[in-house]
A and B are shown apart, each in its own frame.
Chain A
């Protein structure tokens, strides 16, 4: 693969989490354990038991313009993988390289402050997403029109209905034309009319020739959209292949 064609490169990425099992701890006990080699060993083992590898030795390359789907059961590490690529998490081991600006549509409206008005939140959430002031200024009307919230611009977001908040967040997130688009389930938010509109917009973005990383449990949409499929199982790559992996995965799930 030529260097300039490569958009994302993961090399032996592993991600370890602390399960956060609550254990009784007291200073006294800790002090006593310090001098008891048996207990110290037990503590080390407990620590190991407490660990959870969400990703284990995952490597793959993605070329410019590829639409890659990720499948696997709950807890297989799909969302963690997307977060690692987006740079939200730094992998415990391994290397991640992404060449291009990333639009992570993982959680929308992360930057909202409920006390501020919609107008103020467009700027705040935009800044959190990494947009510049000029970009938001120029796209402001587009955001407001798409969200259909012009009459509510100066109302604090805490007085919005949840559907209105989701519409605003969606409109802010989708104004950019990213080189790498990361999608965790196709979002269709709001009422029926807006759902159709937001789905169409996402399809536009995915089909628009950008590089896409796409997680979904709807195998139909993966089949429809993706050129390449990565099957994750307990944090490891089970298989990388074409659309036919979906059928294989489906068969295994039905047993």
Chain B
């Protein structure tokens, strides 16, 4: 543990440089630049809202605003999807670097999760814009939201460690994960409510950690209430547990990476 903190201190500057590199490269030569970070989730939300309110009518709680419902799920799922994807390819993508200089390898998945994390914070702006525009309003409980976000970050980083390790040994993982993430998107209640899922399947859906992070956020944003204690516990277990497993898997295998260049 002491080692980890020392190492993060030592490589803080490199981490900062890698994250800022990603930012600079991402918006290079695009006219709207960083505005895309705000616009993109809004546009996706609009598409989904159009499809699911006009074409397929989703049975939804009439007390809550569907746009806010969509947006709160979407922002969280998009973070996970993008960050885990980038983290997965971060080690393989930086092989040329790993082969030439000594850099702790965990820095690559970590920098990707942080980079998308900053993007995530930007997408909170359109989320809150929707919250205000639809008249949903905010309350003091919103101060509890960072807990869900930290758990989400830990979970994503853990998954990123595991995926980046597997993809070194098995490049097929890039294709497999594309399918997995599609499946996960439909198994996460982003555009529908869990109550429309057949009851015998609901338990399965509850094993999805993302469900709990979204549940936690929606409890606060939509229903103005402090999440029940078991929701807190699930979030923490899924977040911290996955991170620890991921760190273990990564640490155990990182010295072998160099043979699979």
A104-B25 in contact given A90-B255, A127-B14, A127-B17 (Cβ < 8 Å): no
Of A22-30, A36-44, A116-124, A206-214, the segment with at least 4 beta carbons within 8 Å of chain B is A116-124
Total count of chain A residues near the partner, CB < 8 A:
25
A66 within 8 A of B: no
A88 B100 Cβ-Cβ under 8 A: yes
B96 A110 Cβ-Cβ under 8 A: yes
Main secondary structure, interface of B, reads helix
Whole-angstrom CA separation of A116 from B18 in the bound complex: 12
A133 B101 Cβ-Cβ under 8 A: no
A88-B101 in contact given A17-B259, A132-B13 (Cβ < 8 Å): yes
**Interface 1/0 per residue, B11-26 and A, CB below 8 Å:** 0011011100100110
Q: Which residues of A contact B97 (CB under 8 A)?
A: 110-111, 128
Q: Which residues of A contact B259 (CB under 8 A)?
A: 17-18
Whole-angstrom CA separation of A246 from B237 in the bound complex: 63
> Across the two chains, which residue of chain B brings its CB closest to A111?
B97
Of the residues B16, B28, B101, B260, contact of A111 by C-beta under 8 Å: B101
Taking the nearest CB of chain B, how far is it from the CB of A80, in angstroms? Answer: 11
A83-115 at interface with B (beta carbon < 8 Å)? 86-90, 104, 106-107, 110-111, 113, 115
A116 B25 Cβ-Cβ under 8 A: yes
For chain B, give the interface size range.
Answer: 20 to 34
**Interface 1/0 per residue, B78-109 and A, CB below 8 Å:** 00000000000000000011111111000000
A187 within 8 A of B: no
B258 A89 Cβ-Cβ under 8 A: yes
Whole-angstrom CA separation of A130 from B103 in the bound complex: 8
Q: Which residues of A contact B14 (CB under 8 A)?
A: 127-128, 130
Q: Which residues of A contact B100 (CB under 8 A)?
A: 88, 106-107, 110
Q: Which residues of A contact B96 (CB under 8 A)?
A: 110
User: Given A88-B100, A127-B14, A130-B101, 12 other A-B contacts at CB below 8 A?
Assistant: A17-B259, A87-B102, A88-B258, A106-B101, A110-B96, A111-B97, A123-B17, A124-B17, A127-B17, A128-B101, A130-B14, A131-B13
Query: Can you show 24 pairs from A to B with CB atoms below 8 A apart?
Result: A18-B259, A18-B260, A86-B101, A86-B102, A87-B102, A88-B99, A88-B102, A104-B101, A106-B101, A107-B101, A110-B96, A111-B97, A111-B101, A113-B25, A115-B24, A116-B24, A116-B25, A120-B24, A123-B17, A124-B18, A127-B13, A127-B14, A128-B103, A130-B101
